[in-house]
Amino acid sequence: MRWRVIVCGLFWILTLGVSSAAAFDPSRYRPLLLQNIVQQYPAQRGLSLSPDIPIRSNVVYSGEFRDLLEDSRRLIRAWSESMSAAGITDAFKREVKVREAGVDYWLPVQEVLAPIMTRELRQEAIQLFVIYVGQIDGRHLFLVNAFDHKDAHHPPR
């Protein structure tokens, strides 16, 4: 298992109070395009929450980050409260820009992952492990929980 997945899993353990390192299970993330979710859930006005939908998607990392938009923060807060995991909101402070099938997406990324992405990645193809949480005013929101890439660092065993 790659170390960034372990770091992410440890975050979820600490945040949700789960007692096992199995809390982050990459196998539960099904391969799917972000675009498929966007098409499956048509744009709506206001805030719309989704159940926990784990997705594994291949995207191109841009290297660009921006501060988390306030409406994104509001949606994450509402979703995390609905999932009885209110502490999750504090883990997301920035969004990362990725491209999938010619479409750019700004995705909230766990703060613990942002410096790792900056250090390890160039503009390149990566695999993201995201959770679809819903939409706000027609903008779909996917939370980045982990990533993988071809030159991933593997810690000594």
Range of the domain at 72: 3-148
Residues sharing a CB contact under 8 Å with residue 157, sequence separation 6 or more, in sequence order: none
Which tokens belong to 5?
A: 């997945």
pTM of the model: 0.82
Domain assignment of residue 85, yes or no: yes
Among the listed residues 132, 140, 136, 110, the one whose alpha carbon sits nearest the alpha carbon of residue 32: 132
Domain assignment of residue 154, yes or no: no
Domain assignment of residue 156, yes or no: no
Encode pLDDT of 83-141 as tens digits: 887 778 889 999 999 999 999 999 999 999 999 999 999 999 999 999 999 999 999 99
Encode pLDDT of 4-13 as tens digits: 443 444 344 3
For residue 7, the domain's CATH number is 2.40.50.140
Domain assignment of residue 130, yes or no: yes
Domain assignment of residue 59, yes or no: yes
How many folded domains does the chain comprise? 1
Kind and range of the H or E element at 36?
helix 34-40
Domain assignment of residue 128, yes or no: yes
